[in-house]
Each structure stands twice: as C-alpha cells, then as structure tokens.
Amino acid sequence: NAGVTQTPKFRVLKTGQSMTLLCAQDMNHEYMYWYRQDPGMGLRLIHYSVGEGTTAKGEVPDGYNVSRLKKQNFLLGLESAAPSQTSVYFCAGYTPGTYEQYFGPGTRLTVT
C-alpha cells in the first residue's frame, strides 16, 4: 500500500500562474484534508472533504479551490499564485473512529 501520496514534491511558480496539487490515497479514507505549513505557524487547514463529491472551507481557504471527484483523490488548485502562497502543503486522510490522520510527504511550493 502506498498510503497517502502527493504530486509533485517540489514546484516553483511565477506570480499569476496556476497549478494543481494532487493527493491520492489507497487507505479508503472518507475524510481528506489540505493543510499548509509555514515557519512558526504550525499547520493550518485550507479545505477539507467529508466524502466523494463534497468539499468545505477550512481556516485559510482564500486563493485556493479543491475538488474530490473520486474518493481516493483530493485536488488543491491555485488559480493565480501569489508569493504569500509560498509554503509546504500537506494532504491527510482520516477514517472516523481510528483517531489518526495519515499525512502525505508534502509539496514544497515557491511562488516568485
């Protein structure tokens, strides 16, 4: 089992460019999350999904969109990248009752 995987691992964008980060999981998690990690800030929730076809806003959703067309995939989109979106992005999956979120390895994004 691959667990939770993220693509790509690294990316550099210019301001105004767009991109999509892919999170894939083979653990049958119902819930999936996108967090961003910034120095001295811990991790903050961007968007999440409680099941296929559903999405909801987290703590810092502005500038991002998400989609969950298939249960195993959760996509995070940046339509017009800004330097403030330079961060490390983590995806996580969760099955209620297990008390453990499983994290992917992260995507390091730099916006110049």
Partner 1 sequence: GDSVTQMEGPVTLSEEAFLTINCTYTATGYPSLFWYVQYPGEGLQLLLKATKADDKGSNKGFEATYRKETTSFHLEKGSVQVSDSAVYFCALSESSGGSNYKLTFGKGTLLTVNP
In angstroms, give the least distance from the CB of 108 to partner 1. 10
Residue 27 lies near partner 1 (rule: CB under 8 A)? no
Residues 28-57 that bind partner 1 (CB under 8 A): 31, 33, 35, 40-45, 48, 50, 56
Residue 96 lies near partner 1 (rule: CB under 8 A)? yes
In angstroms, give the least distance from the CB of 14 to partner 1. 25
Q: What is the rounded distance in angstroms from the CA atom of residue 17 to the CA atom of residue 71? A: 28
In angstroms, give the least distance from the CB of 79 to partner 1. 24
Residue 19 lies near partner 1 (rule: CB under 8 A)? no
**Distance from first CA to last CA of the chain, Å, rounded?**
36
Residue 105 lies near partner 1 (rule: CB under 8 A)? yes
Report the candidate in 24, 25, 4, 18 with the shortest Cα–Cα distance to residue 75: 24
Q: Using CB under 8 A as the criterion, what x/- string covers residues 52-91 for binding partner 1?
A: ----x-x-------------------------------x-
Interior CA angle at 34 toward 18 and 14, to 5°?
A: 20
Report the candidate in 97, 60, 98 with the shortest Cα–Cα distance to residue 78: 60
| Secondary structure percentages of the chain, helix, strand, coil, to 5 | 5, 50, 45
